[in-house]
Structure 1
Amino acid sequence: MQSHSMRWRFVLLLAVFALVAAACGGSDDATDETTTTGAAETTTTAATGETTAPDATTTTVAEEVEAPTAENQLSGLTVVDDKTFTVELTTADPEFPIQLAYTAYFALPSVAYDNTLGYNKAPIGNGPYMFPEGGEWEQDVAIDLVTYADYAGPAPANDGINFVISPDPKTNYLEAQAGNLDVLSAVDPEFLASAPTDFPDRFAQSPSTGILYMAFPEYMDDTFTLEHRQALSMAIDRELIIEKIFNNSGTAAHSAIPSNLGGRDDVCESWNYNPDAAKALWDAAGPIDAFDVWFNQGGGHETWIEAAVNMWDNTLGIDSGSITFQTAEWADYLDHADNGEFTGPFRLGWGMDYPSPLNFLEPLYASYMTAADGGSNASEYNSPQFDAALAEGKAAVAASGNLADGIPFYEAAEDILCEDARTMPIRFSLNQFAWNEGVDNVFMDAYSNVGFSLITADDGIVSSDLTNPASLFPMDANESEGTQVLMGNLFTGLVQFDAQTGEQYMANAESITSEDGGLTWTVVLRDGWTFHNGEPVTAQSYVDAWSFGARSELGFQNNGFYKKFVGYEELNAG
């Protein structure tokens, strides 16, 4: 056991990065964590029907809010000088530095608080790209960015990005094939067989930590008993779906944790295909006359969900005509998730916020991480035993500084999750992307975001597909579309992942250190960094932004990230 008086340094966590250096984790299906609010309109169809729903973008960002002051600042954040601040956590967390690439931990300029709704339309960041003067996010149309001339980091290899907003991956593929998109960030499964021919020497694949899953709302346990949930999961032939629907891209998921982050092969009986056992469980539990299955539009999910429904029909004797698809556009779908409105099994995906097994358990299944808590537990799973196992794992890591010491407890938590059959892991995804002639040096980073700043472009501008984001306000953006625009483009974090190597490196931070085992951290910033409006990036910029995001009354989707900070409870006591 290492002494708590030793000097803990960011470099000690490089062993964790090695787990994902070759993984380039993330998912085009992820990170589907949100806490949006408001009414949403849904389209209901039979399991074999077409689905349509109105376009919508939902955000919790308000127009007028109280700006950060000394009175509404987290007490665990202390400014030492313009370039230095300290972070005091409620419990020691040696993994803290590897989390700081995420949007929740970006700095904000003071103008962000003047009109947060207006800022959400054209965020002013500290990254290599910025909105042109007078430019803003055109909802459902485009996001155009140009390079920031005074960027303190490495200059981009191109002159700007043109995000073309379209929800249909099949349309995006055809547009790229026609030469109307330079970069295609995700190839629809229907075209995977032809992609290497359609884009000769310009189609690439890289491993990912992203997971596609279905889950059962705990508030529907009167309908879906434990035996029903186990049977539905065991009736799904994941390998066959990977082969036939995803053209052998990705791998079947028999664990809630990716294998390159320590996931096990044989975790859970009900996460494996066993049609005889599934039928026996279903018959013993009794039939469910009709039920709904939920998934979002625009992600190409209907095909594989139809396949799963057909498997339920063939294996369990469920008439597929009795199953109704409930679908909605992405932002509306997130509303349903956050408001506890699912009426049956639902689809979501997840990509890492940071490279640790804990990140695939705590945000999605801990009882204190529901939408009401600013988290992503859409199933509202509530297991004291599961929570306790996570707590033991975190304590073990904090005591030794060795992430491996937490693994037995995280595995115990996963075993409990299996026993409760709250989730059905389906597929670990694979980054699959393509690009056209005229651009080169295309890679995807640890969040499955394209590394736009590395791309060379003959005409200067790089165009790429994008689904309309739910939000571009960093404290509110935690789904893949928003993070793609923000991370490494509009903003540079304290740390970042290299899109080419998958390795994490110091970016806006000069150093991140702890001398007490990870309970208190000192962050020192690099010199010369400014926001796009010329305002210096200072320690106060980070303290104000994180304190702002921690205010629960603002309803930011990333609010749960700040609960670990000392002062969170006091800040939100009133």
Structure 2
Amino acid sequence: MHSKARLVAVGSAVAALALAGCSAGQANDGGGDSADPIRYAVEQPDSMIPGNQFSSYVILETIFAPLTQVDEDGEVSFVAAESVESDDAQTWTITLRDGWTFHDGEPVTAQDYVDTWNYAAYGPNAWVNGPQLANVAGYADLNPAEGEPTATELAGLSVVDDRTFTVELSAPDRQYPLQLGIGQTGLYPLPSEALDDLAAWEEAPVGNGPFELTDGWSESDPIEAVAYDDYAGDAPTLDAVTFVPYLDTATAYTDALAGDIDIAAIAAGQAVQARNDFGDSVYELDAPGVDFLGFTLSDPRFSDVRVRQAISMAIDREAINDAVFGGSQVPATSLTAPSMPGDPEGVCGEYCEFDPDAAKALLEEAGGFDGEMKVHFVANWGQEDYFEAIANQLRQNLGIEAVIASPSADFAAFTDAVQNGETDGPFRARWGALYPSQQNTLTAVFTATGEGNFGAGGYSSPEVDELLRQANAADTLEDSLAGYVAAQERILQDFPTVPMFGNRYLYVTSDRIAELHTNAGAIDVPKIAVAG
């Protein structure tokens, strides 16, 4: 389910991934800019258990703190961790900052991290974010392909003392410090009593972050959070924030226009209207997500790479971006978001360029296309214009008699059809990276065990796996970038998906908001500046 949220749930812009955290340093002095809570529209939360949620990111990233964060220059800095070190990129020593506590005043210990990670990784617990620990040694023993687990704890985790634990990975990975950031909610620590009775704990969640909940939470009612007085990191600029759950962006938009909401994420298709309605209070922010068209690769009508390449070349991304998204998105020329460090702009080459004549010729070379083509997406997510445009262009530019934009009844029906290989045409797919590295997108979507692999039709390649392994084990973060480019080049030889758009996340705000601080396109709630 976690991969569903990241891969296909972005039609609801409220689900935008937050990859920003607060850095550790000065103690909280309780100072905020306003006594009145700001009101922040969010997607309806599904759980307050960080390792077992896929629609509660904004709230959890406010009441929990990660071990690391990535600053605006792409450099790793530390939050709850004092250091994350390794001599060989395979065995890492994590030292926690002294004085860090949960909201009940209990100290956050190395044992809390190890116990939480073991629980999250143990297959029978079925936590949706458990795969975020898949690179730790012993994960396969807790999640065998067949049969029962042969262990209940990760072999790669060891507690050294109250503030120190070690993590042995299954293979060297120079990107590991990036993976400990705010997007990887499965790595947040829970207090020991939470694992004793998760249902009771979730009624009144206790985190380790800059804000604490005042009265529990609800899927549909406003959720109040106030600054935690004893937070050991940087003091938030706000005293309080109210998270208001919404089922759709349209209603949140209307309430923001009426002044009842101070911050709301909006869909890309609302960009033009928002610029007219909100003026300078529209934020269009580079984000770590990328949209694709996926295929059921076992379907013989799409098994020839030339068919998939022809579909890509028949789509005028610039025209769709202008007409549907108001120019707010970025036509894709690679497999990763343009905001990713080292993203190889243009690596897709001619196959991501609009060339209807070449597209039609390539399709004919592959034997043409017989019958009706359906393009699948989720209904009622504001995507109708987008997929109607795709269908119209494929019909006109490839000479296919019938190309139909085919909405699924709801999110569950759509994802079930995609995961089960039951889609009979191209389908809407997306990956929003959980940390700012090409590694996350390439591994999640284009390897057999990746969380978003179903969005690439189950694609995998031993050569790609090896290229990613080499990139992960590079001597430095910078050296790894060339390796990820090589992996992209090899994937694009097979062209399993059609890269469509690099994402930009859009927000509208009320006059109360003076400035939004962001990281990777998502709002850093503790740093929101209030006017006046």
TM-score normalised by the shorter chain: which range applies? Answer: 0.5 to 0.7
Is the CA contact 1:16–1:356 (under 8 Å) kept in the aligned structure 2? no
Q: Indicate yes or no: 2:368 matched with 1:289.
A: no
Q: 1:435 deviation in Å? A: 1.0
Is the CA contact 2:375–2:405 (under 8 Å) kept in the aligned structure 1? yes
Q: 1:352 deviation in Å? A: 2.5
Q: Indicate yes or no: 2:276 matched with 1:201.
A: no
What's the TM-score once normalised by structure 2's chain length?
0.66
> Counterpart in 1 of 2:437?
356
> Counterpart in 2 of 1:465?
none
Q: 1:91 deviation in Å? A: 1.9
> Counterpart in 2 of 1:253?
332
> Counterpart in 1 of 2:53?
none
Counterparts of 1:119 and 1:345 in 2: how far apart (Å)? 43
> Counterpart in 1 of 2:160?
80
Q: 1:202 deviation in Å? A: 2.2
Counterpart amino acid of 1:343? D
Which of 393, 397, 404 aligns to 1:311? It is: 393
> Counterpart in 1 of 2:524?
451
> Counterpart in 1 of 2:427?
346
SS at match of 1:75: coil
Which of 116, 137, 152 aligns to 2:218? It is: 137
Q: Which ranges in structure 2 are unaligned for 5 or more consecutive residues?
A: 1-67, 76-120, 131-149
Distance 1:360 1:17, change over 3 A: farther
Which of 511, 514, 529 aligns to 1:437? It is: 511
Which of 382, 390, 393 aligns to 2:460? It is: 382
Report Cα offsets for 1:422-479 as digits up to 9, x if no partner: 1111111223222112233323322x332222235589xxxxxxxxxxxxxxxxxxxx
Q: 1:206 deviation in Å? A: 2.8
Report Cα offsets for 1:181-233 as digits up to 9, x if no partner: 1112235433x234344224322233223212211122334555322211111
Counterpart amino acid of 1:110? S
> Counterpart in 1 of 2:481?
407
Q: Which ranges in structure 1 are unaligned for 5 or more consecutive residues?
A: 1-13, 22-34, 38-57, 63-69, 460-574
Counterparts of 1:325 and 1:253 in 2: how far apart (Å)? 23
Percent identity over the alignment? Answer: 33
> Counterpart in 1 of 2:238?
158
Counterparts of 1:444 and 1:170 in 2: how far apart (Å)? 23
Q: 1:304 deviation in Å? A: 1.2
Is the CA contact 1:61–1:120 (under 8 Å) kept in the aligned structure 2? no
SS at match of 2:292: strand
Counterparts of 1:274 and 1:297 in 2: how far apart (Å)? 30
Q: Indicate yes or no: 2:266 matched with 1:177.
A: no
Counterparts of 2:380 and 2:228 in 1: how far apart (Å)? 32
- Between Structure 1 and Structure 2, how many residues are aligned? 393
Q: Indicate yes or no: 2:310 matched with 1:228.
A: no
> Counterpart in 1 of 2:94?
none
> Counterpart in 2 of 1:107?
189
**Aligned-CA RMSD value:** 3.3
Distance 1:185 1:309, change over 3 A: same
Counterparts of 2:420 and 2:514 in 1: how far apart (Å)? 43
Q: 1:301 deviation in Å? A: 2.1
Greater mean deviation of Cα atoms: 231-240 or 146-155:
146-155
Answer 1 or 2: higher relative contact order, Cα 8 Å, separation at least 6: 1
Is the CA contact 2:388–2:405 (under 8 Å) kept in the aligned structure 1? no
Is the CA contact 1:181–1:436 (under 8 Å) kept in the aligned structure 2? yes
Distance 1:251 1:386, change over 3 A: same
Distance 1:381 1:198, change over 3 A: same
Counterparts of 1:388 and 1:351 in 2: how far apart (Å)? 23
Q: Indicate yes or no: 2:473 matched with 1:391.
A: no
Distance 1:287 1:187, change over 3 A: closer
Q: 1:81 deviation in Å? A: 1.0
Counterpart amino acid of 1:403? L
Counterpart amino acid of 2:500? I
> Counterpart in 1 of 2:497?
423
